[in-house]
Amino acid sequence: MAARVLVAVAVVTIAAIVVLYLSIIRSQGGPPSDTPWVVPFVAGYEVLMALLLSASLLVPPALRPALRGAASAGLFVLGALAASSIGLGDIMVAAFAMAATVLAVLASPGGRTWVTLAVGAIAALAILLGGFQVAWSHVVCQPTGQSGGSVAGLFGGSAYDCNNGVLTVH
């Protein structure tokens, strides 16, 4: 019962974070972002973590640590990366997911449990980091005007300039 409450609180909180995040981004106004895939990726990843937590209530006990561990790791790392915006909320949700993960591990102790937990966490982090690499790498210049900036990447970032729709990467 405690795990269900922890998961439910986490899922509802993730939904609120996504709505708040998208509302904040939309209310900022101004020209479109040069990296238009970042916001949809972050929102989609948050929804994926909520779906994993929800699914953990429906699967056999042996699979619960993997799903909850994946959500815990993904939300915690996303929270650390997004510390200046939605990060604190993600870290708080990760704490609920971690508590539910601990309960799942205690309910199904053994080596296999730890292996599935690690596989789930590694998969979630691979999706997060790979998704960010793709989202950050997709720079779109507006047809008129000038902009520029830098993008992060797993293997180093890069700087770019947009000049009337032409992208120059440095």
Q: Are residues 144 and 158 in the same domain?
A: yes
115 in the same domain as 83: yes
- Are 38 and 119 in the same domain? yes
- For residue 127, what are the domain limits? 2-138
Same domain, residue pair 43 and 55: yes
Q: Quick: pLDDT tens for 57-111.
A: 999 999 999 999 999 999 999 999 988 888 899 999 999 999 999 999 999 888 8
What digits encode the pLDDT tens for the residues 127-160? 999 999 999 888 888 888 888 888 877 777 788 8
Q: Are residues 96 and 146 in the same domain?
A: no
Model confidence, pTM: 0.90
Cβ contact 119:66 at 8 Å: yes
Same domain assignment for residues 30 and 112: yes
* Claim to verify: residue 100 and residue 166 sit in the same structural domain: no
**Number of domains forming the structure of the chain:** 2
